[in-house]
Chains A and B, each alone.
Chain A
Amino acid sequence: MEQSKMASPKSAPKDAQVMAQILKDMGITEYEPRVINQMLEFAYRYVTTILEDAKIYSSHAKKSSVDADDVRLAIQCRTDQSFTSPPPRDFLLDIARQKNQTPLPLIKPYSGPRLPPDRYCLTAPNYRLKSLQKKVSSSAGRITVPRLSVGAVSSRPSTPTLGTPSAQTVAVSTKVGTPVSLTGQRFTVQIPSSQTTVKSATPTTPTVQNVLINPSLIGSKNILITTNMISQNAASEANPLKRKHEDDDDYDNL
Chain B
Amino acid sequence: MAALPEEPAEVVVKPDPDGGVPPQPQPPPAPPPAAPPTTAPAEGEAAAGAPGSGGEAAPPKPAPPGPAASPAPTDRQTLLAVLQFLRRNNLHESEDILRREARLLGEEVAAAALSPAGPGAQGTPGGVAAGASAAPGGAAVVAPPPGKVGGGVPVEDQPDVSAVLSAYKQQGDPALYEEYYSGLKHFIECALDCHRAELSQLFYPLFVHMYLELVYNQHENEAKSFFEKFHGDQECYYQDDLRVLSSLTKKEHMKGNETMLDFRTSKFVLRISRDSYQLLKRHLQEKQNNQIWNIVQEHLYIDIFDGMPRSKQQIDAMVGSLAGEAKREANKAKVFFGLLKEPEIEVPLDDEDEEGENEEGKPKKKKPKRESMGSKSKKQDPNAPPQTRIPLPELKDSDKLDKIMNMKEATKRVRLGPECLPSICFYTFLNAYQGLTAVDVTDDSSMIVGGFADSTVRVWSVTPKKLRSVKSAADLSLIDKESDDVLERIMDEKTASELKILYGHSGPVYGTSFSPDRNYLLSCSEDGTVRLWSLQTFTCLVGYKGHNYPVWDTQFSPYGYYFVSGGHDRVARLWATDHYQPLRIFAGHLADVTCTRFHPNSNYIATGSADRTVRLWDVLNGNCVRIFTGHKGPIHSLAFSPNGRFLATGATDGRVLLWDIGHGLMVGELKGHTDTVYALRFSRDGEILASGSMDNTVRLWDAVKVFEDLETDDFTTATGHINLPENSQDLLLGTYMTKSTPVIHLHFTRRNLLLASGAYSPQ
Contacts and interface: CB of A to CB of B under 8 A. Distances in A.
A24 to B, nearest CB: 10
Interface string B456-474: 0000000000000111111
A116 B582 CA distance: 12
A120 B392 contact: no
Nearest to B547: A86
14 contacts: A26-B243, A27-B239, A79-B256, A84-B548, A88-B161, A92-B571, A96-B587, A104-B619, A105-B579, A114-B561, A117-B580, A123-B539, A160-B534, A160-B539
Given A120-B542, A157-B473, A223-B476, A92 B570 contact: yes
Given A25-B246, A161-B470, A161-B472, A104 B391 contact: yes
Contact of A166 (B504, B571, B578): B504
Contacts of A27: 239-240, 243
B474 A96 contact: no
Given A87-B569, A110-B394, A120-B542, 19 more contacts: A1-B763, A27-B243, A75-B252, A79-B256, A85-B258, A86-B570, A88-B161, A90-B161, A92-B569, A93-B158, A100-B621, A107-B391, A107-B393, A107-B561, A115-B542, A117-B580, A161-B470, A164-B539, A166-B540
A85 to B, nearest CB: 5
A155 interface: yes
A100 B587 CA distance: 10
A96 B571 contact: yes
B569 A93 contact: no
A165 B472 contact: no
A89 B580 contact: no
A88 B261 contact: yes
B389 to A, nearest CB: 9
B457 to A, nearest CB: 13
A223 B477 contact: yes
A83 interface: yes
A217 interface: yes
A220 B477 contact: yes
Contacts of B393: 107, 109, 114
Contacts of A155: 473
Majority secondary structure of chain B interface residues (helix, strand, loop or mixed): loop
A165 B504 contact: yes
B701 interface: no
Given A89-B265, A95-B585, A161-B471, A114 B534 contact: no
A99 interface: yes
Counting from the closest, the 4 A-B pairs by CB-CB distance are A100-B622, A120-B580, A96-B587, A114-B578
Q: Which of B391, B539, B568, B571 has the most chain A CB within a 10 Å cutoff?
A: B539
B504 A99 contact: no
Interface string B577-591: 111101111111010
A112 B504 CA distance: 24
B620 interface: yes
Contacts of B473: 155, 157-158, 161, 222-224
A13 interface: no
Q: Which range holds the interface residue count of chain B? A: 35 or more
B583 A25 contact: no
A18 interface: no
Interface string A74-86: 0100010001111
B538 interface: yes
Interface in B687-706: none
Nearest to B247: A26
Nearest to A164: B539
A89 B570 contact: yes
B308 interface: no
Given A161-B471, A163-B537, A221 B570 contact: no
A89 to B, nearest CB: 5
A39 interface: no
A237 to B, nearest CB: 26
A150 interface: no
A84 B473 CA distance: 45
B549 interface: yes
Interface string B391-407: 11110000000000000
Given A116-B542, A161-B471, A166-B540, A93 B587 contact: yes
B179 to A, nearest CB: 28
A222 B584 contact: no
Contact of A93 (B519, B549, B588): B588
A155 B579 CA distance: 28
Contacts of A157: 472-473
Chain A interface residue number, banded: 35 or more
Interface in A50-68: none
The residue among B548, B571, B621 with the most chain A CB atoms within 10 A of its own CB is B571
A161 B156 CA distance: 50
A122 interface: yes
Contact of B541 (A102, A115, A162): A115
Contact of B622 (A99, A121, A161): A99
A120 B529 CA distance: 13
Nearest to A89: B262
A164 B391 CA distance: 34
A177 to B, nearest CB: 23
A158 B477 CA distance: 12
Contacts of B540: 122, 165-166
Contact of B584 (A79, A99, A107, A221): A99
A2 interface: yes
Interface in A156-194: 157-158, 160-166
A2 B763 contact: yes
A154 to B, nearest CB: 12
B159 interface: yes
A235 interface: no
A162 B266 CA distance: 52
A163 B538 contact: yes
Contacts of A164: 539
Interface string B369-402: 0000000000000000000001111100000000
A106 interface: yes
Contacts of A217: 474
A100 B584 contact: yes
A229 to B, nearest CB: 16
Contact of A86 (B568, B588, B623): B568
